[in-house]
Structure 1
Amino acid sequence: MGGLARILGLKRQDGHLFPWAPVCLGTGIGLYFALRTEPEPSVLAALAVAALAGFVLALRFGPGARAGLVALSLLAAGVAVAGARAHAVAGPVLDFRYYGPVEGRIVAIDRSASDATRLTLDRVRLDRVAPDRTPHRVRVSLHGDPPRTDPAPGMVVMLTGHLAGPGGPAEPGGFDFRRHAWFLSLGAVGYTRNPVLVVDPGAGGVPVASVRQALSARVQAALPGETGGFGAAILTGDRSGIGESTTSALRDTNLAHLLAISGLHMGLLAGVVFGALRLALLLPPRIALSWPVKKIAAAGALVAAAGYLALSGANVATERAFVMVAVALTAILLDRRALSLRSVAIAALIVLVMSPEALTGPGFQMSFAATTALVAVFGALRGARIEARAPRWQKAVLALVLSSAVAGAATAPVALAHFNASARYGLLANLLAVPLMGSVVMPAGVAGIALMPLGLDAPAFWVMGIGLDLILAIAHGIAAWPGAVGHVVAPPAAVLPLIAAGGLMLTLWQGRGRFAGLAPAALAMLLWVSADRPAVLISETGALVGVMTEAGRALSRDRGEGFVAGIWLENDGDGAGQEAAASRWPSTSAPWPVIEVAGRRILHVRGKRAVAAFPGCTPGDIVVTDVPPAPDLTCEVIGPDLLRQSGALAYRDGPDGLRMISAREASGDRLWNRAGQGPRPKPAPAPDVIARQ
């Protein structure tokens, strides 16, 4: 035991254990989300009490026992915090398909995956739905003619649209939009093809969102087109002005992070304000000699960063970036080192306590993976003084190349696992675009905002537009190169936790014992390369079937259910489109798609006419339909009633033949999965506003 302790270097960890605190807390949060059954509130309360007792008792023990007890307490606290957050955001979820009048106040405007304008509404009213069964928020995509009045935050609008509860995973074990929507308090999503009517243009109540919308409009007026939409996204977080082609080009070149207001933007803005204030205060000799110029500049940058946080909408990614910047600036105010693993740990703890659900998202994972790796690598270089003799310009180039390479390497596994695609020329694109963002775009943007009250912002935004145009040219140009995007198969669920464990061991552990982190990382890679995909996938509507063939997944139709088809193909690591995948389905003389898998026929009978004309099936067949089938079929039938309870289905080919697993089975019995299982709510008296219509 003593030999193992020496090999791992346990004694060297004294004074270096604090960065492991968010790891332990995050592990507890991860355990909560991995549970198959929702823990009772009494269990969560008991864990919270146990965690508090553990922290108190730890004060009575020696260093070794104290560290172990604190780690266990943080694990328990993680489960309790995540469970408390899930209960705190609970709200009604629509458990039936609704069509009718929808009224609500606009609180957010963005774009959907189909490039349609999308409104998020609160203070929702639905026709004949009781207030206690009405979702707190709904999100509606506008597919009809553009509204006569541009929608703006604070407006109360009315529309006639289709709504339904948030959908589950596109396949068992896949991304769970229903859970994502739960933590956004979204109880229904849908669309409308009808005009949007403005009931009250000035209801207000969302002043920050209104200011953000006004600033976005000002930027887009100065910089029309995609350039203005890009500028508005960077300065305000409003992405509604960016088209899908631009978003795709940025994503294919690993420049999509420039759209999200994250560490880069927050750091650049705080750096620009800090540098400008410090320079301005150093010019008068009396102030330079008698005032704490550096601390004043740090305080001013902190105020600017807080304003940027509020202006951008304060989503999780921006909150994470602000916490990181605030920790660094506070360190300057306290005469501490601004960037250290301890600072990163403090930021992670704050974010995890405020939004524990962020742990499961790619934003949190990529941000902290990049930040931890950068701090660790540059800290090691600072200690080794490798670059001490290099000229200043070489140091700048080396820092840019090294930071891009380190951040890219740290975030690559996360990006590949979540998005199943790799930007092969992403490093080159970032080397060309990031300097423009730091030296042209952000300084000009900050200057434009500062000059806006004086009406002198046009020249600054013009300069900003030059930088944005160059970045867009880089993105579109590199994205058009052959082989710019690679595709990988979706990994098993254990892969990312194993990679995280290995990376954290390599980064946080002190001494030679850190190389023990290579073991879980190697195991993760082995699991990933040996990953297999389901033989058969069935969408939760029954409108699409996908079967794995030697040529790749064959789809039962070449259009419709495009979102689900895209997710399946992405998870397969298949770069083909839906039409190409549909061409893999074998052609037959039958009026409906038929294919054989593991000795069983799968028939996709879609639509009322096809079901009415269906002559029947033989035992062993699997019939998939999106409308209620005939009750006398003698084979296995996958119909709407079953799918409503199970969600999407997958069949895996095993030694005993095809084995079915449902999305519901994979997700378990959780708070966010229980909607849709109860009875349809009883009609309530029509709201006054509906009656007035």
Structure 2
Amino acid sequence: MLAPFEALEAARGTLLPWAPVFVSFGIGAYFAAPAEPGPVVWSVAGLISMTCLLLASLGPPLLRVPATAALLVAAGLLMAIWRAQSLSAPVMSFRYYGPVEGRIVAIDRSFSDQPRITLDQIVLARTPPDRTPARVRVALHGDAVQDAPLEPGLRVILTAHLSPPEGPVAPGGFDFQRLAWFSQLGGVGYTRTPVLTLEPAAGGAALFAFRTRMRLSRAIQAAIPGQPGAFAAALMTGDRSPVVSATNDALRGANLSHLISISGLHMGLLTGFVFAAVRYGLALIPPLALRLDTRKIAAVVALMAAAFYLMLAGPNVATRRAFVMVAVMLVAILANRRAISLRSVAVAALIVLAIEPESLVEPGFQMSFGATVALIVAFEPWAKLQPRIPKPLRPVAMLLLSSLAAGLATAPIAAAHFNRIAEYGLIANLLAVPLMGMVVMPAGVIAAVLAPLGLAQPALWVMGQGTAFILWVAGIVSGLEGAVQAVPTPPGAVLPVLALGGIAALVGRRLWLRGAGAVLVLTALILWAGADRPALLIAGDGALVGVMGDQGRVLSKPKGAGFVAQSWLEDDGDLAGQDAAFARGGAEAVRGEWRGQFGQHPLIHMTGKTAPDRAAAFCAEAVEGTLVVLNGDWPEGAARNGCDVFDLRRLKRTGALAVTQTDGGLEMTAARDVAGDRIWNRKGRGRPGARVAARQ
């Protein structure tokens, strides 16, 4: 009976890579919980933490490893609970139209590629402070897209439509409310009126970083014309605004979109080049090389370069995560430890999860650490294989190995989150990533060093040639027939099982553990392959209906509710556009009315101001079992007869609905039931459904 505990105690020194795994169990338990953990759960988790801490420190040696594992699980749960509670802020429970005053804290682009601003220090007309959100995000349309420069710190006023963050567009789908909660977004909306400046931006690090970023971005674009320059500016400064949607689509289709988002790859290439340049540069000066530890000096300079890159690109989640990873590795060099090892990756993961536990459920965290672990494990046998490979072929072999390892590790994660697999992504990465590391990033660093002397142009020309070639590769590869294959969204259990199996197979030191990991991976893939999509989907606001047909899902509208339509089709593993999905029904929507069939049930979708009255007249003569979906409220006192009505009043209680037909009748799954009673979707922060109308 003691053999397993003795084996754990003997292997204690090698178990650090498993620490973030056990912390993830606790964080994952929090996000998977059907209801928000209350004081009882906090108290029990705290008691377990203290007990396990005592056992791990003072208990019998054989119990120290199990106690540490339990401590990490409880700590992960408590960290997630504390993080969610610490971000508590008012969330709008009403729709609002009127003046919005606030300070700009972020500028980016929306789903429809429109510029948008995030504001804090919000003031809303006729809205008390306890109901005013901490932050709101407003997309700029029409006249709001102006030439006047917007920058962080600027206090502005505008007239906007605001509404609460929406829940999942389908049961079990992506939960924007959760994302908004952890971003402290209490309202989202749009404006078509100009953004007026009330106060200029005060000085500060954020404003200095933004102005420096935009100045460098404009300088790079001036030196490198067209999309190659826009791509180079995005790489070096994080300013993605000049990159057009066609470029983004080509990069996604070639599985090269990771090159345009500042992440671990860019931070690693930058710091690696700076580290190598400083170290080898000092090696050329014998008096210094013989007296100084050039390795540590290079690590300090590389860390400073990484910090400046973080400041310049902005403290977004991916960049912060990348900085933590490279900082841990550079500090390991200063501490005379191996820079690239599973231990350093584990420490970086623990730091990221401690700061932002919600990162665990984000694709960036999963892909970054998945790729890093796969690369480290793959290069362990490289030292043994390298002498057997001819020297001219070693760079090619190393490139193939790294691309294959990182691609295999991230492909299922990307497919699960984005519902696409780039069939020729490996080819594109083999052509583009080496150029990024050997030409583009080094040229960018050299240009930055030479810019104060006015000598950056040659380096920028080289950089432009590299980015132009990468975009050419993206265009060619993404244009190949079958370049992108769509896959359906997996069941909720697939990714956790797949991740646990992958970690066990890669990190496990015992054969049985690696075998168990392989079995878990296979189980997850089987569950994914057998995933069923809902036969009928109804949007939470009654604006769209989708019925699964022989050719794929048929949508009730050719336009409108575009985000919901795209999300449904992507989750189905369907590459069709909304208009094509509507055309599958072979009918046209007339007067805001669409008719279809769901099994034996006639189905009608009505929209517009007169929809409730038209629906009541229709149901007076409808056959039994007719399904009626409205984007308004059913008229008071009107008889429903044989109609099963899904009006706005009903959908507000349920959220989006998934309907399947069984032998016992229709089985309905509500998005609110699947999401559970969580802190980010609770009601009661205002008058539900109330509307505040105000004028400037």
- State the TM bucket, normalised to the shorter chain: over 0.9
**Alpha carbons 1:603, 1:622 under 8 Å: kept:** yes
* Match in the other structure for 1:150: 149
* Match in the other structure for 1:124: 122
* Match in the other structure for 1:497: 496
1:160 counterpart SS class: strand
Q: Which segment is superposed worse, 124-133 or 24-33? A: 124-133
Deviation sequence 1:536-595 (CA, Å, 0-9, x none) = 101111010001112211111111111111111111111111111111225499863222
Alpha-carbon offset, residue 158 of structure 1: 1.9
Alpha-carbon offset, residue 27 of structure 1: 0.8
* Match in the other structure for 1:88: 86
Alpha carbons of 1:231 and 1:676: their partners in 2 closer, same or farther (altered >3 Å)?
A: farther
| Superposed counterparts of 1:296-307, under 5 Å | 296-307=297-308
* Match in the other structure for 1:35: 33
Q: Which segment is superposed worse, 58-67 or 659-668? A: 58-67
Give TM-score scaled by structure 2 length: 0.94
Alpha-carbon offset, residue 148 of structure 1: 3.0
Q: Which segment is superposed worse, 12-21 or 167-176? A: 12-21
In structure 1, stretches of 5+ residues that fail to align are none
Alpha-carbon offset, residue 519 of structure 1: 1.7
Alpha carbons of 1:589 and 1:258: their partners in 2 closer, same or farther (altered >3 Å)?
A: closer
The whole-number CA distance in structure 1 between the counterparts of 2:526 and 2:689 is 49
* Match in the other structure for 1:567: 567
* Match in the other structure for 2:662: 654
The whole-number CA distance in structure 2 between the counterparts of 1:683 and 1:583 is 36
* Match in the other structure for 1:369: 370
Find the partner of 1:627 among 608, 625, 632.
632
| Superposed counterparts of 1:367-516, under 5 Å | 367-382=368-383, 385-513=384-512, 514-516=514-516
The whole-number CA distance in structure 2 between the counterparts of 1:627 and 1:394 is 67
Alpha-carbon offset, residue 330 of structure 1: 1.5
Alpha-carbon offset, residue 263 of structure 1: 1.3
Give TM-score scaled by structure 1 length: 0.94
* Match in the other structure for 1:55: 53
Q: Which segment is superposed worse, 227-236 or 661-670? A: 227-236
Note if 1:599 corresponds to 2:615.
Answer: no
* Match in the other structure for 2:167: 168
* Match in the other structure for 1:644: 652
The whole-number CA distance in structure 1 between the counterparts of 2:320 and 2:549 is 45
Deviation sequence 1:254-273 (CA, Å, 0-9, x none) = 10111121111001110111
Alpha-carbon offset, residue 236 of structure 1: 2.2
Alpha-carbon offset, residue 219 of structure 1: 2.6
Alpha-carbon offset, residue 173 of structure 1: 0.3
**Alpha carbons 2:94, 2:686 under 8 Å: kept:** no
The whole-number CA distance in structure 1 between the counterparts of 2:430 and 2:608 is 52
Alpha-carbon offset, residue 242 of structure 1: 1.4
Alpha-carbon offset, residue 664 of structure 1: 0.7
The whole-number CA distance in structure 2 between the counterparts of 1:368 and 1:236 is 23
* Match in the other structure for 1:199: 198
Q: Which segment is superposed worse, 74-83 or 460-469? A: 460-469
Alpha-carbon offset, residue 198 of structure 1: 2.1
The whole-number CA distance in structure 2 between the counterparts of 1:58 and 1:414 is 34
The whole-number CA distance in structure 1 between the counterparts of 2:457 and 2:127 is 49
Q: What amino acid does structure 2 have at the position aligned with 1:127?
A: A
In the alignment of these two chains, the number of paired residues is 684
Alpha-carbon offset, residue 88 of structure 1: 1.0
**Alpha carbons 1:107, 1:209 under 8 Å: kept:** no
Deviation sequence 1:80-137 (CA, Å, 0-9, x none) = 1001000111111111111111222222211112111111122222222222322111
In structure 2, stretches of 5+ residues that fail to align are none
Q: What amino acid does structure 1 have at the position aligned with 2:540?
A: E
1:467 counterpart SS class: helix
**Alpha carbons 1:101, 1:158 under 8 Å: kept:** yes
* Match in the other structure for 1:279: 280
Note if 1:342 corresponds to 2:343.
Answer: yes
The whole-number CA distance in structure 2 between the counterparts of 1:192 and 1:285 is 63
Deviation sequence 1:321-344 (CA, Å, 0-9, x none) = 112211221221122111111111
Alpha-carbon offset, residue 666 of structure 1: 0.6
Alpha-carbon offset, residue 460 of structure 1: 2.5
2:65 counterpart SS class: helix
* Match in the other structure for 2:15: 17
The whole-number CA distance in structure 1 between the counterparts of 2:178 and 2:324 is 25
**Alpha carbons 1:540, 1:643 under 8 Å: kept:** yes
Q: What amino acid does structure 2 have at the position aligned with 1:151?
A: L
Alpha carbons of 1:409 and 1:646: their partners in 2 closer, same or farther (altered >3 Å)?
A: same
Find the partner of 1:136 among 134, 142, 164.
134
Percent sequence identity over matched residues? 50
2:387 counterpart SS class: coil
The whole-number CA distance in structure 1 between the counterparts of 2:229 and 2:651 is 44
Alpha-carbon offset, residue 302 of structure 1: 1.0
Q: What amino acid does structure 2 have at the position aligned with 1:522?
A: L
Note if 1:229 corresponds to 2:230.
Answer: yes
The whole-number CA distance in structure 2 between the counterparts of 1:598 and 1:676 is 38
